[in-house]
A and B are shown apart, each in its own frame.
Chain A
Amino acid sequence: MTATTTQTADRATAATVEFRSLRREFGATVALDGLDLAVRPGEFLALLGPSGCGKTTALRMLAGFEHPTSGEVLVDGEDVTRVPAHRRDAGMVFQSYSLFPHLSALDNVAFGLRMRKVRTAERRSRAAELLELVGLADKGERYPHELSGGQQQRVALARALALRPRVLLLDEPLSALDAKVRLTLREEIRRLQRELGITTLFVTHDQEEALSIADRVAVMRAGRLEQCAAPAELYGRPATAFVAEFVGTMSRIPGRLDGGTVEVLGQRLPVDGDVPAARDVDVLVRPEAVLVRADEDGTARVAATSFLGAAVRVMVRLGDGTEVKADVPAHEGAALGLGAGVRVSLPERAVLVAERRGE
């Protein structure tokens, strides 16, 4: 609570956050179904998942706006489950524009300091300092309706940081912005977070956003944690079929298990990770790992192509009707017209398999 004297730099000890078997029911629906997750000090952790997976509920529990049916929330090892929201020491940026419309940008940032009874002169200088930090030093006298969406979220970020919170909570702060602003602001958030070394939780449903800025990404589904790992690991070695398909693009190609290997597209490849019990499985492949070669005798046909810049994404329909997405370099892709015969193969590497989905 002594947020008044220290300076921005001396954040030697960032906080840890821990969710312990959090459970939350809203009537018959279960929003969180035993969530366990630990956030390291100073870490930027993204909570990723489809809408309704409980990621926002988890964040709001850390902020103190929701209360768990059972389980606990720990900040720095301390149980804060019963602490009211205004004593949680957590700065939050909301999805919708949440600035106080009746206050100028400067007064918005200074709002928390006013609640803490900081003297006027001190809080104005501190607020000005924070506005400078988010690059809006000259916009202090503007009112929210005079600011663009991106500027409003910057002010909201400055406001969230004003009390030097132990954790920073970002609830899809970029989803209301247009694509270009979204990119610059997310880099800026990342830069600020590194500079301040503040433990940060970032909720998003956009997997690209999560992979590009987080230290670790926690993928959630139906109120549970599926996998929590660094972006590269999440993409390269997804723990479950859900993660594999939610993060990045995945195609499913039917194959047949045979011991530790799988027979697919006429090839025999080793299986990576857990081997399911069933013999009929789907092999999960990323588009960049699928090799497509023009071949008039091939049974596969090009069903659609879309130009992505450096590559062309080709949708190939196999003989049995399965659709496979493949990325081919732009100069090769030019040769693959609609309906052209192709041959599809996989590189000689271990592949992920999942039980075949019942249609």
Chain B
Amino acid sequence: MARLKPWRWAVFGLAALYFLVPLAASVVFTVDVPGQGLTADAYTEILSTDGFGSSLLLSLELAAATIAVVLLLLVPATVALRLGAPRLRPVVEVVCSLPLVVPPIAFVAGISTVLKWGPDHLSHTPLFQTFVAIQNPDFPFVLVLAYVVMALPFVYRALDAGLRAVDVRTLVEAARSCGASWPQALVRAVLPNLRGALLNSAFLTLALVLGEFTVSHLLGFTPFAVWIVNVGGEQAQLSVAVSVLSLLLTWLLLLALASAGGRSRTTASRG
């Protein structure tokens, strides 16, 4: 590790304080109950509280589905953009940035308006069943659709940066002249070199989905973030404990993803 100069230590220390003090305060709040001393009751209580497992599982499932959909959508799109239509890039960039500009409240208002078309106008058409299916509380696919849109700006940027670092056209052509068909060239020659970008996209999407509250709450579903808020209304200590736990959980998931990707990368670059 590079030697850190004193002023760097100062900045590092300040940043650490800024992050760690609230965290430490949260932890102290959950374990130090007035009159009882130190206790881990708040944490043990989580597991027995109704809805913890199911809401967490729902969030993870939603995250997995969102990652799959957004990558399947954007990877071919960005590669095609790079190879076939570089002039369309600014257009796609603007479109993918729109979700940053539109506030989630407006977004969810639009979605619920559209969902109301189901009972209002479409009740006699087969499409009605589709509207019912995507709002299935066990797995509300409408949330995946919403999250895909919300993840677009992050995933697009991560993929674009990754694609900039490799000469996609030459890689594809080299693969093609080695007898690879189009899909083979994409999967065998381009994707392995986008590993970093794909992992980044997955990280960002995972973090986004685990923490998303507005859309899922207003549409009436209960993934993890909504559940935390609901629980907090009744028991403040429990809700903070859950927040701390969810923070740790997100970290662990990100670390797991990073080490999974990182390990294969180091073995790949070893001579």
Contacts and interface: CB of A to CB of B under 8 A. Distances in A.
Contact of A85 (B166, B177, B188): B177
Main secondary structure of the interface of B (DSSP, over half): helix
Contacts of A143: 268-269, 271
B179 A102 contact: no
A98 B174 contact: yes
A55 to B, nearest CB: 17
Interface string A275-310: 000000000000000000000000000000000000
B197 to A, nearest CB: 13
Contacts of A65: 173, 176
Nearest to A103: B192
Contact of B271 (A90, A91, A98, A142): A142
Interface string B145-189: 000000000000000000000110011011111111100110011
A46 interface: no
A146 interface: yes
Contacts of A63: 173, 177
A120 to B, nearest CB: 15
A2 to B, nearest CB: 13
A179 interface: no
Nearest to A88: B177
B167 A98 contact: yes
A138 to B, nearest CB: 12
B193 interface: yes
Interface residues of A, number: 34
Nearest to A102: B192
A99 B184 CA distance: 16
Given A143-B269, A143-B271, A159 B176 contact: no
Contacts of A349: none
Contacts of A96: 167, 170
B178 A112 contact: yes
A101 B193 contact: yes
B74 to A, nearest CB: 21
A160 B271 contact: no
A112 B180 CA distance: 7
B171 A98 contact: yes
A86 B180 contact: yes
Contacts of A146: 271
Nearest to A92: B177
B175 to A, nearest CB: 7
B192 to A, nearest CB: 4
A111 interface: yes
A100 B174 contact: yes
A85 B167 contact: no
Nearest to A142: B271
Contact of B184 (A90, A91, A115, A163): A115
A100 B176 contact: no
Given A143-B269, A146-B271, A100 B189 contact: yes
A94 B173 contact: yes
A82 interface: no
Contacts of A92: 173-174, 177
Contacts of B166: 101
A116 B176 contact: no
Given A85-B176, A92-B174, A111-B188, A100 B193 contact: yes
A65 B174 CA distance: 10
Contact of A141 (B170, B195, B271): B271
A65 B180 CA distance: 13
Interface of A: 63-65, 84-88, 90-92, 94, 96, 98-102, 111-112, 114-116, 141-143, 145-146, 156, 159-160, 162-163, 169
Given A64-B177, A111-B180, A111-B188, 18 more contacts: A64-B176, A65-B173, A85-B177, A86-B176, A86-B179, A86-B185, A92-B174, A94-B173, A96-B170, A98-B174, A100-B175, A102-B192, A115-B175, A115-B178, A115-B180, A142-B271, A159-B174, A160-B177
14 contacts: A65-B176, A85-B177, A92-B177, A94-B174, A98-B170, A98-B174, A100-B171, A100-B175, A101-B166, A102-B193, A114-B188, A145-B269, A146-B271, A159-B174
3 cross-chain pairs, A with B, having the tightest CB-CB distances, nearest first: A112-B178, A102-B192, A92-B177
